[in-house]
Amino acid sequence: MLRLSLRRRRALLPWLFLGPGLLWLVIFFAIPLVNQLNVSLQTGDPETGYTFNWAFGTYSEAIGDYHEQFLRSIGYSATATVLCFVIAFPLAYFIAFKAGRYKNVMLLLIVLPFFVSYVLRTVSWQLILSDNGWVAERLRDVGLIGEDGRLLATRTAVIAGITYNFLPFMALPLYVSLEKIDRRLIEAATDLYASRATAFRKVTLPLALPGIFAGSLLTFIPACGDFINAALLGTPRQYMIGNVIQNKFLVIQDYPEAAALSFILMSFILVGIGLYARALGARNLTEAAI
């Protein structure tokens, strides 16, 4: 009898531990998402209030009106993710394999900019790229950009800003997975007459896949919803879907369409993660990303 009650207590214990946190996530994460789906199917306006009437039309309207911003978000984020990878992979490789006793210092240097506010760092780029700034003037001097050419308020500025802000999110997972690689495997490959390039392609790169997977997700997902870079470094012509959602919610107060837009964004990202995980052959999403 005693054993049974003990076993039952044992079965209850994990849920007791999980309870409060899970409840918080259900109330303030899951229910809002369901509620948002509900809001997106309502019609009305801020004055008279909204009523629920399965207004699927909002979705086609949202896609019709803002497919440009959607495609732009995906394009900018994908470009920034690739750039992050190109910049961060050699850096992570150097730290993992060559840095020796400077390893910790270099890792520290990657993390350090995090301690300066994200918004402030972006404002700082705004200052650097500004029309009468030092960089723009020098580039005009040497004729790389025209007399009235601009650095700020261009697509390049927004993509560079996103790349900058999410670079550590790419570099750190890459470093972790490269660091874990057993060097003897690479040695074995070269001992078996694989060239350096072949050993890299067939041993190092596949073993770094979890890091590439995690890094590109950690870069692409926040980049897709970001609106700070486009707001500070771009103009409405560079606005991304995040800017539209924020504007609809906080300024225009067109809640149904804003809710529809963020629902579309979230579904796109979830489907995207699934496909990407398949393509890379990651065994388990959470396992690889964490």
Partner 1 sequence: MAVEAPPAAARPAAAPSGSRPVPHRADRLRTWALGMWSALALLYLFIPIFIIVLFSFNDPQGRFNFTWQGFTLDHWSNPFANPDIATAMKNSLLIAGISTLIATALGTFMAMALVRYGFRGRGAVDFFIFLPLSTPEVVLGAALLALFLTAGINTGFATIVIAHVMFTISYVVVTVKARLEGMDRHIEEAAMDLGATEWATFRKVTFPMIAPGVAAAALLAAAISVDDYVITSFNAGQTVTFPLFIFGATRQGVPPEVNVLATALLLIVLILMALNVVVQRRLARRDAVRQAAAAADVP
End-to-end CA distance of the chain: 42
Query: Nearest distance from residue 205's CB to partner 1, in Å?
Result: 16
Q: Is the Cβ of residue 154 or residue 265 nearer to partner 1 in the bound state?
A: 265
Please work out, in degrees rounded to the nearest 5, the angle formed at the alpha carbon of residue 106 by the alpha carbons of 102 and 108: 120
Q: Is the Cβ of residue 96 or residue 154 nearer to partner 1 in the bound state?
A: 96
Query: Nearest distance from residue 34's CB to partner 1, in Å?
Result: 9
Tokens of 94: 């150097």
Pairwise CA distance, residues 107 & 168, whole Å: 10
For 132-201, the DSSP string reads TSHHHHHHHHTTSS-TT--STTSHHHHHHHHHHHHHHHHHHHHHHHHHHS-HHHHHHHHHTT--HHHHII
Query: Nearest distance from residue 288's CB to partner 1, in Å?
Result: 11
Q: Is the Cβ of residue 234 or residue 242 nearer to partner 1 in the bound state?
A: 242
Query: Nearest distance from residue 286's CB to partner 1, in Å?
Result: 5
Residues 6+ apart with CB under 8 A from 168: 110, 111, 113, 114
Query: Nearest distance from residue 145's CB to partner 1, in Å?
Result: 19
Query: Nearest distance from residue 117's CB to partner 1, in Å?
Result: 6
- For residue 37, what is the enclosing H or E element? helix 31-40
The SS3 of residue 45 is strand
List the beta bridge partners of residue 45: 49
Query: Nearest distance from residue 42's CB to partner 1, in Å?
Result: 10
Residue pair 229/242 in contact by the 8 Å Cβ criterion: no
Q: Is the Cβ of residue 200 or residue 209 nearer to partner 1 in the bound state?
A: 200
Tokens of 204: 């190092």
Count of helix runs (H) and strand runs (E) in the chain: 15, 2
Q: Is the Cβ of residue 143 or residue 196 nearer to partner 1 in the bound state?
A: 196
Q: Is the Cβ of residue 130 or residue 235 nearer to partner 1 in the bound state?
A: 130
Q: Is the Cβ of residue 9 or residue 67 nearer to partner 1 in the bound state?
A: 9
List the beta bridge partners of residue 49: 45
Q: Is the Cβ of residue 168 or residue 234 nearer to partner 1 in the bound state?
A: 168
Query: Nearest distance from residue 8's CB to partner 1, in Å?
Result: 12
Could you tell me the CA-to-CA distances from 189 to 17, 193, 203 in Å, in that order?
Answer: 47, 7, 8
Q: CB 196: neighbour CB atoms within 10 A?
A: 11
Residue pair 154/238 in contact by the 8 Å Cβ criterion: yes
